[in-house]
Amino acid sequence: MQTRTCCPACLSVPLTEVYREPYTSDGIQNYLKTQYEGNASSTADDCLYVLSRCQRCGLSFQKYIPGDPFLGEIYNSWVPGTDFEREHRNYSLEEYRYLAEQVQFVIQHLGRPPAAVRMLDFGFGWAHWSRMAMAYGCRVSGVELSQERSAHGQSVGIELLTLEDLPDQAFHFIHTEQVFEHLTEPRAVLDRLVAALAPGGLIKISVPDAVTSLKKIEGGQSFGSLSANDKMPIAPLEHINAFSHASLVAFGKAAGLRPVRPSFYRLYNSASGLLQLKNLARVLARPVYRHVFPRNTFVYFERAPQ
């Protein structure tokens, strides 16, 4: 395990310990057994699960994190496999609508013809978002560590790149979904993505909201006593960066980005499913939530125009 001695987001040193528990505790052992379907080894048993908080930007994060060999063990041997057919079969109409709304919003915000919009999907997984963007006529490149998912992405038309090979100021929009909570060095990755973003371009960062989980664990609850939903944002070994809205905004600003408050017009103009009663409340409320009360951990950031 590696030890973090400074904030992985703003790189500041003053830190406060929030929570501590050995990996051998019943709560964490039961979680690992369930989460990894019995595949977890004893590699972490001599380590501590410690949450620290940056006194400057407010990010909470795991102090002790897996090194590269251990990460390889987790993602190659522990994590249960998923296949495209299962993912594709379980994707609902509402999920596709939600992707379409996001793509439409971005194209409208940029004010460019779709064919003139170059996008990067960083950590594209099974490429659902990328395929939606390509369906609207955008040019999509992607970065993905999984060889199986990379091969699938290439087969559907995604131009494969690596983080190190990203061209400077090339992309009008960069999409990241459930990525930054996993990264051992999130600031270094964001700095590289910002360099690849064109002036005036947008980057979307969406991560789990850890506020409720942290509040409960700081209030005296043990990790094992949390619900499955509350364990997820602070999951040992994987969700090593636990964001709130405030710490996510601070993260973007530290990298020179400006948070964008989406306009009502563009949000509603991108919405679909308004005529279905079961969707009406969600479709009407989501833009208000994003525009009037932007307190969640789904944030669009903009690189300053030149």
**Which of 142, 147, 140, 243 is CA-nearest to residue 187?**
243
Q: What is the pTM of this model?
A: 0.90
CATH homologous superfamily of 88-207+245-303: Vaccinia Virus protein VP39 (3.40.50.150)
Residue of 215 and 306 predicted with greater confidence: 215
Q: Where are the domains of the chain?
A: 2-82+211-241, 88-207+245-303
In contact, 120 and 303? CB cutoff 8 Å: no
Q: Report the alpha-carbon distance of residue 264 to residue 105 in Å, rounded.
A: 10
Q: For residue range 174-213, what is the model confidence (pLDDT) as tens digits?
A: 999 999 999 999 999 999 999 999 999 999 999 999 999 9
Burial of 117 (0-12, 13-18, 19+ CB in 10 A): buried
In this model, does residue 130 exceed pLDDT 80?
yes
Q: How far apart are CA 255 and CA 257, in angstroms?
A: 6
> How far is Cα 152 from Cα 156, in angstroms, rounded to an integer?
7
Q: Report DSSP state, residue 257.
A: E
pLDDT single digits (tens) 45-96: 899 999 999 999 999 999 999 998 898 888 878 887 666 666 777 788 888 9
